[in-house]
Every structure is written in structure tokens, then in C-alpha cells.
Amino acid sequence: MRDKTLLLRMILALAAYMISSALLYDTMARFKFFHLAPGQSIKIFIIINVVSLFLIAIARKKFLVVLDIICMFFIGTHIIVHSKIVKGSFEINSDIYFPPSISALIVLSVIILLLLAGWLNRFEKGLNKMFSNGAQKEDIVLIRSNNIKIFLMFCIILLPVAYALAVLSFIAPLVKFSKYLSILMAVVGIMTIVGCVIFLYRGWIRNKDKV
């Protein structure tokens, strides 16, 4: 089971890196402020990725922390082109980039992937600490199995709601009764957060009592 959680964590981290790296390349290829030819953009993009992968490799056990910082930098370069200050300063035509709604969904995907990978990492560390404190192997295996189920249910519940709220946030200004839709979105968001906290807390308490 430990190998499965490690594999899942690596898949989530790799997916987050690939998506954020694609956003970085798209930004570099289109951001005329850099005055880069297509060939130069590719070279600089490769150098940035080589350096990033080197930093991730030498970080070893802290690679998720380094990966978080790198991914935030990558998607940050894409977000900044939609800033009114940057567009006004460098005369950027943001129409050539992904629309803000699509960018928001992509950035949300990267953040969710990083959060899930971090959750699995902390979960595995907690189990290792329990094992070092004398917990039985059978109990740890049971707790790991139950928490993986909670993790999957959490994703099934959270992800559709998060994406729906992101989409609605761009639709709301175009709807005639956007005020009521905004209130509904806020209520749904708060209920989702509270529900997730209660759901995870109850799962944590239930597994803690079994040790």
C-alpha cells in the first residue's frame, strides 16, 4: 500500500509540474516583452526546466516543497499577463493567451494537484511516526486503507464543486440576477469547506481510535 501512495503522489506531482510547465512555455512564446525568437524561447525554456528538475532532484525528501515553489512560479508568469498593470506597462495583448476563465481552471487544477500530493505526503509521514511509536503493523495497514478511501471520496466530492464554482464565477457577471447567484455560490463554497473539514475530522478521529 505504501508503494501505491508513493506512486500516486509522484503522479500528482508530475501532472502538476507538466501543466504548469506548459503554461510557462505558452507565456514565454507569446510574451513579446522578452523579444525572443521562437528558437531562443525553446532554449531558455529547456534551461529553466533542467535547472528546476535539478533543484527537485537534490531536494530529495523535501522535493514537494521545491516543486510547489517552482509550479507557483511557472503559473505565476502566466497569471501576470492578465494583470491590468502589466498589460498597461508593456502593452500586452492578453487576447492571444488563454481566456481568464480557462487560465483560472488550469491554475486551479495545478493547485489541487499540489494540495493532494502534499496531503498524501503528510499522511504517509504520520503513519511512519505512528509505526515508530509502537503501533501495530495491522492497524497501520487498516488506517492507510481507510484513509485512501477517504482521500478518493474527498476528491470525488471536492473537485466537481471547485470547478463548478470556478466556472460560475465567470458566468455570474453575465447573468441578470448575478447578485443572487453570487450569494448562492458563496453559500455553496462555505458549505463545501465546512463539510470537508467535518468529513476529514471525523475520518481522522475514527482512525485514531483504532490505534
Indicate if the pLDDT at residue 51 is higher than 80. yes
Question: Per-residue pLDDT for 3 more than 80?
Answer: no
Cell of 120: 498524501
Global confidence as pTM? 0.69
* Amino acid symbol at 93: N
Q: Which of 160, 161, 147, 159 is nearest to 191 (CA)?
A: 161
- Of residues 54 and 83, more confidently modeled: 54
Q: What does the pLDDT read at residue 17?
A: 92
> For residue 7, what is the DSSP state?
H
Q: Which residues have CB under 8 Å from 38's CB, separation 6+?
A: 29
Asked if 170 contacts 101 with a C-beta cutoff of 8 angstroms, the reply is yes
Average pLDDT for 178-184:
70
Cβ atoms within 10 Å, residue 189: 15
Taking the C-alpha atoms of residue 23 and residue 102, their distance in angstroms, rounded to an integer, is: 11
What's the pLDDT band for 15 if we cut at 50, 70, 90?
very high
User: Nearest CA to 38 among 28, 48, 46, 52?
Assistant: 28
pLDDT exceeds 70 at position 88: no
Query: pLDDT by residue (tens digit) across 126-166?
Result: 777 777 777 676 776 677 677 777 777 777 777 777 777 77
In this prediction, residue 124 carries a pLDDT of: 76
Report which of residues 36 and 53 the model is more confident about. 53
Instruction: Show me where the domains of the chain are located.
Output: 1-97
Other residues' Cβ atoms within 10 Å of the Cβ of residue 126: 16
Please give the backbone phi and psi of residue 130, each rounded to the nearest 5 degrees, phi first.
-60, -40
Mean pLDDT of the chain: 74
| CA distance readout (Å), 31 to 54, 141, 188, 200 | 26, 50, 37, 42
Average pLDDT, stretch 91-105?
A: 65
User: Tell me, what DSSP letter sits at residue 97?
Assistant: S
* Amino acid residing at 61: K
